[in-house]
């Protein structure tokens, strides 16, 4: 079986910098797998998430070489709305992800853009709020939520899109213990549904749900041997 996500010889440097953040990196992720990627601050974890999710090159530009494929298709040749039906990313900073004053509008936005009908959108929102224990936040102003709650709403806004692949960029960073456990439960639930999860982190604390751990060092991925 070929990998669901495959990066081959992936190198990237941001515009006007001649330093490769990713340097001939290879990665294969199978369907249904939970992969954790560990790396020190500044090692390029977020940059890798952007490459895997098409944000590089579709939104951020720079010097990119090598290939990223989802289901055998080149990410650089897919447009962002198409990618969004297959892959969802929860950003490290939830402020980047939240646009609407009200939680419910935030959760409806993605599926509305995909022209999903109103009843189905409502069903997805109900299920997602229930799953994340956020029912009481439905009519809240996102601006009034704590960092951890914003992170959960950002996660919810991706879950309502029902992608098969989820990328979590340090989503546990601002969240309290209860929220962390909720996210871990959700990750395991997603795995049961056959979804694929890539989670990046700078420490080992919250990645016990992973099937496999890799380390990002010097722009490449290697097997994690216990320290970074």
Among positions 4, 86, 89, 92, the unique one binding ligand ATP when judged by CB under 6 A: 92
The answer to whether residue 149 forms part of the interface with Mg ion (CB under 5 A) is no
- Looking at the Cβ atoms of 42 and 101, the one nearer to Mg ion is 42
Among positions 5, 7, 10, 21, the unique one binding ligand ATP when judged by CB under 6 A: 21
- Looking at the Cβ atoms of 92 and 206, the one nearer to Mg ion is 92
Binding pattern for the stretch 169-198 against ligand ATP, x by CB under 6 A and - elsewhere:
------------------------------
Closest CA relative to residue 90, chosen from 147, 158, 33: 158
* Site for Mg ion, residues 31 to 70, rule: CB under 5 A: 45-46
User: Please, is 220 exposed, middle or buried when counting C-beta atoms within 10 Å of its C-beta (0-12, 13-18, 19+)?
Assistant: middle
Rounded (10°) CA dihedral 152, 155, 157, 161:
-150
Within 10 A of 98 (CB to CB), how many other CB atoms are there?
20
Strands 73-74 and 87-90: unpaired
Selected range binding ligand ATP among 23-31, 39-47, 78-86, 152-160, rule: CB under 6 A: 39-47
Specify the residue for token string 């090692």: 43
- Looking at the Cβ atoms of 16 and 119, the one nearer to ligand ATP is 16
């Amino acid at each position: 079986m070929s990998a669901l996500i495959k990066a081959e010889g992936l190198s990237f440097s941001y515009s006007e910098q001649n330093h490769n953040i990713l340097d001939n990196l290879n990665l294969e992720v199978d369907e249904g797998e939970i992969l954790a990627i560990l790396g020190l601050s500044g090692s390029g974890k977020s940059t890798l998430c952007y490459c895997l999710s098409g944000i590089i090159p579709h939104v951020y530009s720079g010097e990119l070489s090598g290939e990223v494929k989802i289901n055998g298709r080149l990410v650089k040749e897919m447009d962002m709305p198409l990618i969004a039906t297959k892959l969802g990313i929860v950003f490290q900073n939830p402020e980047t992800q939240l646009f609407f004053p009200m939680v419910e509008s935030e959760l409806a936005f993605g599926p509305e853009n995909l022209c999903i009908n109103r009843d189905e959108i409502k069903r997805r929102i109900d299920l997602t709020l229930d799953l994340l224990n956020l029912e009481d936040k439905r009519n809240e102003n996102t601006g009034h939520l704590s960092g951890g709650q914003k992170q959960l709403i950002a996660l919810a806004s991706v879950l309502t899109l029902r992608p098969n692949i989820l990328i979590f960029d340090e989503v546990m960073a601002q969240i309290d213990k209860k929220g962390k456990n909720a996210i871990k439960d959700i990750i395991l639930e997603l795995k049961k549904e056959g979804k694929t999860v890539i989670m990046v982190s700078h420490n080992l604390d919250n990645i016990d749900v992973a099937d496999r751990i890799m380390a990002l060092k010097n722009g490449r991925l290697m097997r994690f041997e216990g320290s970074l």
